[in-house]
A = this chain, B = another copy of it.
Amino acid sequence: MKLFSFWRSLATFRVRAALNYKGLVPDEVIDINLMKGDQRDAKFRAINPMMAIPALIDGKGPPLFESLAIMEYLDEIHPHPPLLPTDPKARARVRGLAQIVACDSHPLTVPRVRNYLERELKLDEETREKWCRHWVSEALGALEQHLTPENGSGTYCQGDQLTLADICVAGQAVGAMYFKVDMGAFPRVSRIVEATWKNDAIGRAHPMKQPGAPAKV
């Protein structure tokens, strides 16, 4: 497997965490520097026309794209340990929680959007940071309401089994750190994130522990 990756990418973190959790080690990790715009190079554009990471090539390919799709793929080809529960409503809840992060929040703070805010809309840094904090916080607020014992949360988002929702929520907390969102307002989310990082496979996948990451953001 070849993984196209960048230390800071929260979508790549999800796939890296899933690979670690499954005990899968890519043969090659190819750095796509999002700060330098490597994702827009013709060479990478041929891999992923959306010009975003992660992308994963398994065997002869073709390249797989979109983090949630890749996580589901890994769960299908390597079912153990599972990243989804077995009950259909529980699976829907796990996917829904993951999508609050991956659909409703994260896409609003990715480099192409921050670039548009800066270059097209000429917004100053404070306004851009406020934008990012707003969308990160909105999703954290929704997650905080979801992650109750009454709704089925336990040690993790869904009971006591780690799922792809926990990986997405842990990434959301890294986003909160990037954009200086105070997690104090989200105690249930924080507790689950803390439990998730304690899992060594997920902890090793943390963006700040990757090659190229700075000592702090």
Binding site for B on A (CB under 8 A): 49-52, 58, 62, 64-66, 68-70, 72-73, 76-77, 88-89, 91-93, 95-96, 98-100, 102-104, 106-108, 112-113, 116, 120-121, 123, 127, 131, 134, 138-139, 141-142, 145-146, 151-152
CA distance A95 to B151 in the complex (A): 27
Given B100, B113, B151, which contacts A50 in the complex, CB threshold below 8 Å? B100
Secondary structure at the A interface, as helix, strand, loop or mixed, is helix
CA distance A18 to B121 in the complex (A): 37
CA distance A164 to B87 in the complex (A): 21
Contact A49 B96 (CB under 8 A): no
CA distance A104 to B99 in the complex (A): 12
Contact B92 A49 (CB under 8 A): no
How many copies of this chain does the complex contain? Answer: 2
Contact A100 B139 (CB under 8 A): no
**In this complex, what residue of B is CB-closest to A152?**
B62
Given B99, B113, B131, which contacts A68 in the complex, CB threshold below 8 Å? B99
Contacts of A141 in B (CB 8 A): 49
Minimum Cβ distance to chain B for residue A202 (Å): 21
Kindly name the residue among A49, A93, A142 whose own CB sees the greatest number of chain B CB atoms within 10 A: A49
Contact A72 B99 (CB under 8 A): no
Contact A89 B69 (CB under 8 A): no
Contacts of A69 in B (CB 8 A): 92-93, 95-96, 98-99
Q: A52-B104, A66-B100 are in contact. List 6 more A-B contacts (CB 8 A).
A: A50-B142, A73-B92, A107-B107, A107-B108, A120-B134, A121-B123
